[in-house]
Homo-oligomer: A and B are copies of this chain.
């Protein structure tokens, strides 16, 4: 029970931090986002500060479209059940990672795979 409440609290903080970071990346103000989505700047501020436990899916979708991030990711960060149920944890981790990485070329993919192997091999040698 305590862990559930703690998870809920963590969800809102994670979602908020994510939204804040996504907005910063686009260099948009709260009022600019309000103009594009119709969601009040005050509410956006509360969302980013983790003060909203259950934002509506409609609002999450608007923000997902504007910030160009997966809607499912926002739903999950909000703590909502998601339609597909692979291992939730690794799916979340992958989606967050995929969102941060974005689309990569084959070249970049090869480079990243190689680099990961490199840093892992460096670590295992210690």
Contacts and interface: CB of A to CB of B under 8 A. Distances in A.
Interface of A: 54, 56-58, 61, 70-72, 75, 79-83, 90, 93-94, 97-98, 100-101, 103-104, 108-109, 111-113, 115-116, 119-120
A58 B80 contact: yes
Given A57-B57, A103-B90, A109 B83 contact: no
Contact of A83 (B83, B111, B119): B83
Contacts of A109: 97, 100
A73 to B, nearest CB: 10
Nearest to A82: B83
Contact of A116 (B90, B93, B112): B112
Contacts of A61: 80-81
A94 B98 CA distance: 7
Contacts of A57: 57, 75, 80-81
Contact of A58 (B70, B81, B103): B81
